[in-house]
Structure 1
């Protein structure tokens, strides 16, 4: 009877409420990335950290997440995901609350690296549970909506509170997100591992097509690193260019919501028109949008640049993830790509901190990001074209057989 009562208040395993709860679960460990600009600005303006020190805090937090996500590959099959999630959320809340009282850069770097490790473990666990649902694509779409939507709200409101309350609102927001996620956990079903269908002979070979795979994964790393290098300092860029804090935070919040168009396009278009054309156009817009940051002193251009780069970020990344899975029938490389992606997200702020710490300035940082994005474009297009041609040949063969 008690089991029946517990099942009564759980949401349907594959309904929209479950997708929303799972999105929170997979976001809680890395939500700081979505408000990274506010955190970096808060450390500089609220605690007096240098730009380099603030970037290093952001970097170690994300490097830790990459390690934690790698660990989750081994724990998800051996340890109850719910117990792992509860433990991780409790630790994250404790670390975020403790971070409010830390003022020394070295201590903050050490504390946030532990936060990243635990958060990465939670992210990997959440993604593993999403993989057990009957419709993981919908959960992934919901994941992007939660990240972009609440991230936009965070960068809209939090920078305005830093001058009044210091860094406390930043870390309280992270702790609150984890607390809300913990409240959702009891309503989620158990999601036991699903039976895996017997693989086909082609899938069972375990063959990895290494050359295009390496190109795609390298492009993913460069794309994430270049975008995150600028995003981590994007609020500082607006303020240093002469924009008011209110205008800067308003532009970032609006741009984050506009960026929802990126994942929407992916869900609507899918692979109907292939990957090459969409990636080509998306990368051209990415390069143009990032180049516009050179004129960030003009509010309209600053807003336009953030909107353009936000949309293309949400468009390009899902296709790159899909490409990594196409070159390996076993799915191993798709999991590894998640770790590579986080390494890119971590490396961007670290490299940016060195550039700004050397006194080179934001123009040099923007140019470095443009160079990395151009290289990523060169690397991602050949494997995209190869996959499009393979898909076209498969369709032609089907027509011949039918």
Structure 2
């Protein structure tokens, strides 16, 4: 017997009757991972463009910006169609995945023409953005969605942890252009999961069945939580860019600082594991508060980065809490508004946060001092908690039950 997940504060469930949850999970994760390989390994590709093609940092920045701009535009576009029951998301997703595969295969042919390279990477970015936003939007309708969310949002860290150490060897032994053909091949291979991918978000296949959730959809509540998530990512991404520099300024040599930052990226997978386990035990709000408080404590530790153990602990804990907090935000978003729209809105907030973070916190850095940037990060985290407190208060005044129930999935396996 299956009990409905929404009655316990988890994500709304609208699984296709008789669908294989393992097939669904595999298809969603395959599309998200193999449709976004370049993004997950961007720092390594930056070095590859510089070393093997001799491109200037300014030109590499333009190429990277074209890719990210395409992905951001695709995410925003998702607001207009992912929630519609008449749209076949499976077809759109796999067309985008095929375009992404083809774009990677074609990239070596335009590597020495900057204009064509930027245009093609924009198309690849748009395609990858479509695959990612649709994959995110269909998750709330799947069985045991609360466990899938942390794995999904940690997939980029998993991919980065695997690819980043391997790619330099690929560049050296098979050529820089071979890496793009490899990405194209992997994306093409993921097309075999086509028949397992959901056609619609939020269980539109079960149209006519009334959702048992007792939570009233509130646009103001959605906006408050989305802004809180945006501030969280402005803080995270802004400070993340300066992790290595903070170590060097604090007296550690460049190689040591780089090793610490690399370790922190890999260790972020601990946050994915913790969120996967606790997503069915903690309320979303509780998970966000716990993770943000621990993150704030680790940010404070950066003031004392002269000590190598403190520096390592701070970097590691910030990364762990980033991957821990994010899934709880998306579980909460899917509980307070129409899930597909809420998830897309959250993804827009994340991408905008990544874009604005380094720019805004850059204004607080001067004379090799990061004290103001660290304090600004703490302020952003504090404001995000204030906004969530406003949401809690307003939800209680409305009498919504979501705050008093655990995000526990009671689906049978």
TM class by shorter chain equals 0.7 to 0.9
Give the deviation of 1:120 after TM superposition: 0.9
Confirm or deny that 1:66 pairs with 2:75: no
Question: In the alignment, which of 331, 346, 349 is matched to residue 358 of structure 2?
Answer: 349
Task: Judge which range, 67-76 or 34-43, deviates more.
Answer: 34-43
1:260 aligns to what? 269
Confirm or deny that 1:378 pairs with 2:390: no
Question: In the alignment, which of 140, 151, 162 is matched to residue 149 of structure 2?
Answer: 140
Instruction: State the alpha-carbon separation in 2 of the partners of residues 146 and 211 from structure 1.
Output: 30
Instruction: State the alpha-carbon separation in 1 of the partners of residues 363 and 283 from structure 2.
Output: 38
Q: Which runs of 5+ in 2 are unaligned?
A: 1-17, 406-413
Within 5 Å, give how 1:4-19 maps onto structure 2.
Answer: 14=20, 16=22, 19=25
Give the deviation of 1:157 after TM superposition: 5.9
Instruction: State the alpha-carbon separation in 1 of the partners of residues 148 and 327 from structure 2.
Output: 13
Structure-1-length-normalised TM-score: 0.72
Give the deviation of 1:362 after TM superposition: 4.5
Q: Assess, with a 3 A threshold, how the Cα gap between structure 1 residues 279 and 351 changes in structure 2: closer, same or farther.
A: same
Structure-2-length-normalised TM-score: 0.71
1:183 aligns to what? 189
Query: Residue 298 of structure 2 contacts residue 318 of structure 2 at CA under 8 Å; is this kept in 1?
Result: yes
Give the deviation of 1:319 after TM superposition: 1.5
Give the deviation of 1:220 after TM superposition: 0.6
Give the deviation of 1:141 after TM superposition: 4.0
Within 5 Å, give how 1:296-307 maps onto structure 2.
Answer: 296=305, 298-307=307-316
Q: How many residues align?
A: 373
- What's the Cα RMSD here? 4.3
Write the deviation string for residues 103-144 of structure 1: whole angstroms up to 9, x where unpaired: x7x998776555432321221243356566545445434434
Write the deviation string for residues 331-357 of structure 1: whole angstroms up to 9, x where unpaired: 53333222222222222234356666x
Query: Residue 147 of structure 2 contacts residue 277 of structure 2 at CA under 8 Å; is this kept in 1?
Result: no
Within 5 Å, give how 1:2-401 maps onto structure 2.
Answer: 14=20, 16=22, 19-38=25-44, 61-72=67-78, 77-78=87-88, 80=91, 81-95=93-107, 97=108, 101=112, 113-128=122-137, 130=139, 134-155=143-164, 176-191=182-197, 192-193=199-200, 195-200=205-210, 208-238=217-247, 243-244=252-253, 246-270=255-279, 272-296=281-305, 298-329=307-338, 331-352=340-361, 362-384=370-392, 390-391=400-401
Instruction: State the alpha-carbon separation in 2 of the partners of residues 174 and 380 from structure 1.
Output: 42
Task: Judge which range, 311-320 or 112-121, deviates more.
Answer: 112-121
Instruction: State the alpha-carbon separation in 1 of the partners of residues 378 and 50 from structure 2.
Output: 25
Q: Which runs of 5+ in 1 are unaligned?
A: 1-11, 396-402
Query: Residue 323 of structure 1 contacts residue 384 of structure 1 at CA under 8 Å; is this kept in 2?
Result: no
SS at match of 2:275: helix
Give the deviation of 1:30 after TM superposition: 4.0
Give the deviation of 1:219 after TM superposition: 0.7
2:15 aligns to what? none
Write the deviation string for residues 23-77 of structure 1: whole angstroms up to 9, x where unpaired: 1311344445544555567778996866x98777656543431211233455662
Task: Judge which range, 308-317 or 278-287, deviates more.
Answer: 278-287
Q: Assess, with a 3 A threshold, how the Cα gap between structure 1 residues 208 and 268 changes in structure 2: closer, same or farther.
A: same
Instruction: State the alpha-carbon separation in 2 of the partners of residues 185 and 291 from structure 1.
Output: 45
Q: Assess, with a 3 A threshold, how the Cα gap between structure 1 residues 60 and 289 changes in structure 2: closer, same or farther.
A: farther
Give the deviation of 1:186 after TM superposition: 1.8
Q: Assess, with a 3 A threshold, how the Cα gap between structure 1 residues 33 and 295 changes in structure 2: closer, same or farther.
A: farther
Write the deviation string for residues 274-331 of structure 1: whole angstroms up to 9, x where unpaired: 3444333321221222233345455433321221111111121111122222222565
